[in-house]
Amino acid sequence: MPEKVGIVGIGQTKFTSKRRDVNIPEMVYESVKMALDDAQLEPNDIDAILIGNMDHFEGINFSEMWCGIDAAPGYMKPVVKIATGGTTGSSLGICGYYNVASGIYDKVLVVGWEKLNEGGATTGIITAFDPVWERPSLAGALGPLALMANMYMNEFNVSPETAAMVTVKNRSNAANNPFAHLQMPNITLDYVMSSQTISYPLRLHDCCPQSEGACAVIYANEKEAKRITDNPAWFHSVATSHYYTFGCDDKMYDLPTATFASKKAYKKAGIKDPIKDLDVAEVYEPTSWAELSWTEALGFAEPGKGGNLLREGISQMGGELPVNPSGGVLSTNPIGATALVRIAEAAIQVMDRGEKRQVPDAEKALAMGFGGSLWTELAILGNEPPR
Amino acid sequence: MNLRGEYKLAKKDREDIFEIRWKTDLPYKYSIGKLSVKFFEVLKKERKLLGSKCPECGKVHFPPRGVCAECVVKMTVDDMVEVPPRGTLVGFTVINYPFVDPQTGGMRPFPYGYALFQLDGTDTYTMHFLDEKDHTKMEIGQRVEAVFKDEMEGNLGDIPYFKIIKEG
């Protein structure tokens, strides 16, 4: 039987477009120090480090060597780098779980980060694809996400205004999250709809920003977790589902990996109806359109009906299943940290530490990572240890 | 570090920052595989397109792939089949934002039409440039055709783009 695993410390930097006041290790350290202080632990209390980002977005290489040892407390300890594109943060989060659940380590620190203003995410993403067949026409992530939105709107006759409602919800939620990058308390549908079309049907404000920052999370086994805090966030299930699409050979909007992974994660965590049995979800939505169709893939709505979650208030704050109280990826996207922020924010909710973004009485939270070639990674956290 | 460094104080009207800038060339080679070699040889000499057909499930992959992911079966040049240069539009967009193209080191010219289509007789979608920058003129289900360069060189640039066509 795996060990029960709890999150006992969280550190997030204030995400922003530029952190020119710090270099990479300094920025990583900032989040690590916050997480250690949060758990009231010393660097020596940590058994192993998992660190992740997408090096080629910054034009660097092997960065774990020079920011996983001193910035994160890796001296004389195992330090492992994880880089899986958009899912980097959820891969980190899930591997952190494995490392403790396996019984090998008692306490593990995971940290994800990115400093996107120092390089080019679109350029970096293109280099991740086949040099001969895919790179010539590929324009990073937004091109395929635009194709996906185009196919989805055509298949189900969904209006751009429906997608814009996602941005309005998430960016106004972000105003309640002191760490979020784009905080827009007074954002309107008109504001989103009147922004420039950057890749039809995507308007500027249908798309996530490029952010800089780091997120660190400390994991502990049951014995240590209970010693450290009386309020850990407990892992109830994790699921990873990978897929490969050469040359965008997929409709993408139905995200088969999300359907597959969610069925697995729900079963393990005893979730029968996600709307009823989950209290909050941190969904990975690089575009407004992605939240519409991927919440469908997660079983929150029937295909083509994702917009109803917004219109009926279900995914809004105060609804039956608020989606992205943190503001989501549409408000903050420091790629290597992004999906770990989903896990951290899900933990914050079940720990009842969300302050202005808190969903009342949140007991079960879903966190989603998306990346790679249409990959999905999920974690379900609870306020009580799993049975 | 291979650093052609240049110390530079940024202009005051931008931001009050100290910057060190450098530019590094990192040339690579890439082995494209036997199926791609065959594809580009035939493209150059015969102006024809080849896909690869899985000997197990019969799925026709375009562009040609070395392994059928569903069957986990290897395909060789003997499994390559001709596919027509025509197909159907599955999805489209117009890329309208600036970024550095890692293939050239310079900015990729934009706007450009970028589309997903399915060639006739194939079982996969594939993406390429589309010779249309106005999204109101594109529609899912439209017929498209590959345009070949006059002087073929044996690379993907020999098909600079697909164009929307009207049939019968």
Over residues B133-151, mean pLDDT:
97
Provide the domain limits for residue A253. 131-207+234-382
> Does pLDDT of A77 surpass 90?
yes
Domain shared by A98 and A179, yes or no: no
Distance in Å, alpha carbon of B11 to nearest chain A alpha carbon: 16
What span, in angstroms and rounded, lies between the C-alpha atoms of A165 and A205?
A: 11
> Does pLDDT of B128 surpass 50?
yes
pTM (two decimals): 0.96
The answer to whether position A387 is within a domain reads no
Q: How many angstroms separate the Cα of A368 from the Cα of each of A7, A282, A348, A380?
A: 16, 6, 15, 9
What span, in angstroms and rounded, lies between the C-alpha atoms of A113 and A177?
A: 18
What span, in angstroms and rounded, lies between the C-alpha atoms of B168 and B146?
A: 18
Please name the residue of chain B whose CA is at the shortest distance from the CA of residue A126: B102
What span, in angstroms and rounded, lies between the C-alpha atoms of A210 and A233?
A: 29
What is the predicted pLDDT for the residue at B21? 84
CB contact under 8 A, B127 and A248: yes
Over residues B65-81, mean pLDDT:
95
Judging contacts by C-beta atoms under 8 Å, the chain B residues touching residue A249 are 124-126
> Does pLDDT of B2 surpass 60?
no
Mutate to test the interface with B, among A148, A150, A196, A206 (most CBs of B within 10 A): A150
Domain shared by A181 and A315, yes or no: yes
Structure tokens at A87: 């899912």
> Does pLDDT of A51 surpass 60?
yes
Domain boundaries, chain B: 34-165
Domain shared by A43 and A178, yes or no: no
> Does pLDDT of B6 surpass 90?
no
CB contact under 8 A, A123 and B93: no
What is the predicted pLDDT for the residue at B14? 58
The CATH number of the domain holding residue A370 is 3.40.47.10
> Does pLDDT of A68 surpass 90?
no
What is the predicted pLDDT for the residue at B165? 98
Q: Are A352 and A74 in contact (CB under 8 A)?
A: no
Share of chain A above pLDDT 70, in %: 100
Domain shared by A69 and A158, yes or no: no
> Does pLDDT of B11 surpass 80?
no
Domain shared by A250 and A344, yes or no: yes
What is the predicted pLDDT for the residue at A307? 98
What is the predicted pLDDT for the residue at A180? 98
> Does pLDDT of B4 surpass 50?
no
Q: Which DSSP letter does residue A43 get?
A: G
CB contact under 8 A, B93 and A20: no
Distance in Å, alpha carbon of B74 to nearest chain A alpha carbon: 16
CB contact under 8 A, A132 and B156: yes
Q: Residue A229 is which amino acid?
A: T
Nearest to B93 among A131, A200, A249 (CB): A200
Q: How confident is the model at residue A164 (pLDDT cuts 50, 70, 90)?
A: very high
Mutate to test the interface with B, among A66, A118, A142, A147 (most CBs of B within 10 A): A147
Q: How confident is the model at residue B69 (pLDDT cuts 50, 70, 90)?
A: confident
The answer to whether position A186 is within a domain reads yes
What span, in angstroms and rounded, lies between the C-alpha atoms of A25 and B160?
A: 43
CB contact under 8 A, A139 and B135: no
Domain shared by A349 and A202, yes or no: yes
Distance in Å, alpha carbon of A199 to nearest chain B alpha carbon: 5
Q: How far is residue A160 CA from its own chain's centroid?
A: 24
Helix, strand or coil for residue A313? coil
Q: How confident is the model at residue A373 (pLDDT cuts 50, 70, 90)?
A: confident
What span, in angstroms and rounded, lies between the C-alpha atoms of B92 and A34?
A: 45
Helix, strand or coil for residue A12? strand
Mutate to test the interface with A, among B127, B128, B133, B140 (most CBs of A within 10 A): B127
Domain shared by A245 and A100, yes or no: no
> Does pLDDT of B5 surpass 70?
no
How many structural domains are present in chain A? 2
The answer to whether position A357 is within a domain reads yes
The answer to whether position A126 is within a domain reads no
> Does pLDDT of B3 surpass 50?
no
Judging contacts by C-beta atoms under 8 Å, the chain B residues touching residue A140 are 99
What span, in angstroms and rounded, lies between the C-alpha atoms of A319 and A281?
A: 12
Structure tokens at A137: 């026409």
Q: How many angstroms separate the Cα of B73 from the Cα of each of A31, A194, A263, B54, B55?
A: 46, 50, 28, 7, 8
Please name the residue of chain B whose CA is at the shortest distance from the CA of residue A200: B93
Distance in Å, alpha carbon of B168 to nearest chain A alpha carbon: 25
Residue A293, Ramachandran bin (φ over 0: left; ψ between -120 and 50: alpha; else beta): alpha
Whether the ω angle into residue B63 lies within 30 degrees of 0, i.e. cis, is yes
Q: Residue A299 is which amino acid?
A: G
Residue B149: what are its φ and ψ, rounded to 5°?
Answer: -70, 160
Domain shared by A148 and A266, yes or no: yes
Residues of B with CB under 8 A from a CB of A: 15, 17, 24, 30, 32, 36, 61, 63, 65, 69, 90-97, 99-103, 108, 110, 114-116, 124-129, 135, 140, 155-157
Domain shared by A87 and A141, yes or no: no
What is the predicted pLDDT for the residue at B27? 86
CB contact under 8 A, A132 and B100: no
Distance in Å, alpha carbon of A66 to nearest chain B alpha carbon: 15
Mutate to test the interface with A, among B110, B114, B118 (most CBs of A within 10 A): B114
> Does pLDDT of A97 surpass 70?
yes
Nearest to B116 among A198, A199, A248 (CB): A248
Domain shared by A93 and A114, yes or no: yes
Over residues B60-68, mean pLDDT:
96
Distance in Å, alpha carbon of A146 to nearest chain B alpha carbon: 6
C-alpha dihedral (A234, A338, A354, A11), degrees to nearest 10:
80
Judging contacts by C-beta atoms under 8 Å, the chain A residues touching residue B92 are 147, 150, 200
Over residues A156-173, mean pLDDT:
98
Strands (DSSP E) along A77-129, which ranges? 79-81, 107-115
Structure tokens at A69: 């040892």
Domain shared by A176 and A285, yes or no: yes
Judging contacts by C-beta atoms under 8 Å, the chain B residues touching residue A124 are 102
Judging contacts by C-beta atoms under 8 Å, the chain B residues touching residue A196 are 96
What span, in angstroms and rounded, lies between the C-alpha atoms of A324 and A327?
A: 5
Helix, strand or coil for residue A103? coil
pLDDT per residue over A270-327, tens digit each? Answer: 999 999 999 999 999 999 999 999 999 999 999 999 999 999 999 999 999 999 999 9
What is the predicted pLDDT for the residue at B26? 80
Domain shared by A142 and A248, yes or no: yes
Whether the ω angle into residue A78 lies within 30 degrees of 0, i.e. cis, is no
What span, in angstroms and rounded, lies between the C-alpha atoms of A12 and A25?
A: 14
Judging contacts by C-beta atoms under 8 Å, the chain B residues touching residue A203 are none
Distance in Å, alpha carbon of A314 to nearest chain B alpha carbon: 30
Q: Are A96 and A48 in contact (CB under 8 A)?
A: no
Averaged pLDDT of chain B: 90
Distance in Å, alpha carbon of B167 to nearest chain A alpha carbon: 22
| HSE of A281, CA atoms in CB hemisphere, 13 A | 30
Q: What is the CA radius of gyration of chain B?
A: 21
> Does pLDDT of B36 surpass 60?
yes
What is the predicted pLDDT for the residue at A334? 98
Q: CB B42: neighbour CB atoms within 10 A?
A: 17
pLDDT per residue over A184-241, tens digit each? Answer: 999 999 999 999 999 999 999 999 999 999 999 999 999 999 999 999 999 999 999 9
